[in-house]
Amino acid sequence: MDTCDLTQEAALLALRSLSRFVPEHDGSMRGYVQRIAVNRLRDEIRKVRRRPRRVSLADEVPSRTAGPLDQAVRNEEQRQCRLALTRLRTKDRLLLHARFVEEATLADIARQFGLPSTAAAGMAVSRAERRLKHELTSHAPSHRVVKAP
């Protein structure tokens, strides 16, 4: 709202309530209209403060949550990983679980699995990882394009 609009609105409000206006001195009418204008200005300020600021949004706002396609891909990857883990030896599964789920140190893994050193534990975990990667790649589903007849 600009100042001209505010002034006109204050004048109209003063005219509408003119029947209730009782002048007390020469400047009463001017003071009355000024008071209406100030009150109208305060109302406008309150209205703007109550309303959230408008912001323009880009056409494509990235979501913080995974979309259906991302979720489906993640679910399939987890399923493939679980299947690959079931094809590993029990010791390899236990080594990977200790290292990556329990976040055990190599020293803890060496003690838990009766290995002679932390280097031996690191090598055992590394070999288990390699076997898991092999299982994931050798049994990965093929993405062949099937042509319609």
Instruction: Report, as an integer, the average pLDDT of 111-138.
Output: 95
C-alpha R_g of the chain: 38
Q: What is the pLDDT of residue 55?
A: 81
Q: What is the pLDDT of residues 15-28, one digit of tens each?
A: 888 888 888 888 88
pTM over 0.85: no
Most confident of 17-31, 43-57, 113-127: 113-127
- pLDDT band at 84, cuts 50/70/90? very high
Span 78-138: which CATH code? 1.10.10
Instruction: Report, as an integer, the average pLDDT of 84-97.
Output: 95
| Stretch (H or E) spanning 8 | helix 3-16
The distance between the two most distant Cα atoms of the chain, rounded to a whole number of Å, is 105
> Strand, helix or coil at 33?
helix
Instruction: Report, as an integer, the average pLDDT of 119-134.
Output: 95
Instruction: Report, as an integer, the average pLDDT of 24-53.
Output: 87
Listed by start position, the domains of the chain span 3-49, 78-138
Q: What is the pLDDT of residue 143?
A: 54
Check whether 128 has a pLDDT greater than 70.
yes
- pLDDT band at 147, cuts 50/70/90? low
From its phi and psi, is residue 114 left (phi > 0), alpha (psi between -120 and 50) or beta?
left
DSSP structural state of residue 25: S
Instruction: Report, as an integer, the average pLDDT of 54-79.
Output: 85
Q: Contact at 8 Å (CB) between 95 and 113?
A: yes
